[in-house]
């Protein structure tokens, strides 16, 4: 075999290995019921339950923030975010958390928030 053929086979093998690695680390969207079925990391989309308390005490643990969230099917869970409280968290319309279930709590490693738009029908919103 020529050296170029050997190099080509090695490059293809590395590419296939990289694809399997990326597919193994991918997570899926689920609700809280599906997230409780296993220890896999999932994305759960839902809304913040503003009627329940949010707990964040940076003096005790700056990397722990907890709140209650309802998923798209209306299931509610206590969520523990292992990061500091995001800025403007209370204003978010929709929340996507990334993590897994630990007992009755959902332990989130990351959070994505959809905040209200600054623009309404092409007009800039004016705040006082």
Parent domain of 74: 28-122
The residue whose two tokens read 């990061």 is: 83
Using alpha carbons, select from 26, 44, 35 the residue that is nearest to residue 95.
Answer: 44
Tally of domains within the chain: 1
Tell me whether residue 102 is in a domain: yes
Render pLDDT for 52-74 as a digit per residue (tens, 0 to 9). 999 999 899 999 999 999 998 88
CB distance 100 to 81 below 8 Å:
no
Tell me whether residue 7 is in a domain: no
Tell me whether residue 51 is in a domain: yes
State the CATH number of the domain containing residue 104: 2.40.50.140
pLDDT value of residue 89: 85
CB distance 80 to 55 below 8 Å:
no
Tell me whether residue 2 is in a domain: no
Mean pLDDT of the chain: 83
Q: What angle do CA 115, 117, 122 make, to 5 degrees?
A: 170
Render pLDDT for 86-128 as a digit per residue (tens, 0 to 9). 888 888 888 999 988 888 899 999 998 887 665 555 555 555 5
The conformation of residue 57, written as its DSSP 8-state character, comes to -
Tell me whether residue 13 is in a domain: no
Tell me whether residue 21 is in a domain: no
Tell me whether residue 127 is in a domain: no
Render pLDDT for 2-34 as a digit per residue (tens, 0 to 9). 889 899 999 999 998 888 777 665 667 788 888
Tell me whether residue 42 is in a domain: yes
- Pure H helices in 49-124: none
In this prediction, what percent of the chain has a pLDDT beyond 70? 83
The 3-class SS string of 46-68 reads: EEECCCCCCEECCCCCCCCEEEE
């Amino acid at each position: 075999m020529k050296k170029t053929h050997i190099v080509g086979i090695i490059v293809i093998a590395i590419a296939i290995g990289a694809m399997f690695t990326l597919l193994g680390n991918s997570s899926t969207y689920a609700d809280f019921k599906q997230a409780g079925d296993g220890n896999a990391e999932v994305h759960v989309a839902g809304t913040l339950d503003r009627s329940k308390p949010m707990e964040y005490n940076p003096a005790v643990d700056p990397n722990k923030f907890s709140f209650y969230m309802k998923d798209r099917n209306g299931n509610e869970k206590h969520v523990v975010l292992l990061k500091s409280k995001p800025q403007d968290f209370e204003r978010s319309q929709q929340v996507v958390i990334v993590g897994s279930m630990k007992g009755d709590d959902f332990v989130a490693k990351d959070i994505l928030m959809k905040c209200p738009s600054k623009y309404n029908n092409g007009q800039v919103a004016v705040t006082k």
